């Protein structure tokens, strides 16, 4: 059952990659929410399943970002020394940002400021 330090380091890297991927997925969802609110064109483009509306595209992009970044980070972290604490704190900050961007008064505020960029 006991792992040596080298094996523990490897597990730390794998788990760290997963944590950071969750943070990235969260922020990507937040960005999709803001963009869909700011631009009717982007909102339409995210309607991947008609009865569900743009939520289908936003959440699918989130999952793709989560899975892809997990895979990339898993390989990027291999053989490198990482500080799990630092990765964890970064992940929590990203998750916090993603959470903020799901909060309607916040995402509407940011979307309103971006609307002129999209011709709104």
Instruction: Provide the binding-site residues for another protein, judged by CB under 8 A.
Output: 1-3, 8, 11-12, 14-15, 18-19, 21-22, 25-26, 29, 33, 49, 51-53, 55-56, 58-59, 62, 66, 84-85, 88, 91-92, 95, 98-99, 102-105
Whichever of 77 and 119 has its CB closer to another protein, that residue is 77
CB-based contacts of 52: which residues, under 8 Å, 6+ apart? none
Please state the closest distance from residue 69 (CB atom) to another protein, in A: 11
- Smallest gap from Cβ 94 to another protein, in A, equals 11
- Minimum distance from residue 26 beta carbon to another protein (Å): 5
3 by DSSP, 3-state: which?
coil
Alpha-carbon distances of 81 from 13, 49, 62, 88, 92, rounded to whole Å: 8, 42, 28, 14, 20
Q: Rounded to 5, what percent of the chain is helix, strand, coil?
A: 80, 0, 20
Shortest separation between residue 116's beta carbon and another protein, angstroms: 22
Q: In this complex, which beta carbon is closest to another protein, that of residue 108 or of residue 114?
A: 108
3-class DSSP state of 53:
strand
Closer of 44 and 119 to another protein (Cβ): 44
Tell me the C-alpha to C-alpha distance, in Å, between residue 91 and each of 20, 25, 87. 5, 10, 6
């Amino acid at each position: 059952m006991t792992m040596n330090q080298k094996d523990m380091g490897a597990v730390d890297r794998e788990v760290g990659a997963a944590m950071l991927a969750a943070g990235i997925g969260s922020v990507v969802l937040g960005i999709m929410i803001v963009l869909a609110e700011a631009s009717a064109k982007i909102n339409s483009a995210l309607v991947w399943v008609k009865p569900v509306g743009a939520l289908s595209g936003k959440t699918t992009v989130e999952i793709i970002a989560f899975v892809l970044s997990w895979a990339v980070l898993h390989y990027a972290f291999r053989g490198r020394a990482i500080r799990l604490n630092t990765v964890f704190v970064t992940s929590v900050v990203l998750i916090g940002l993603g959470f903020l961007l799901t909060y309607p008064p916040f995402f509407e505020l940011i979307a309103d400021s971006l609307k002129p960029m999209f011709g709104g």
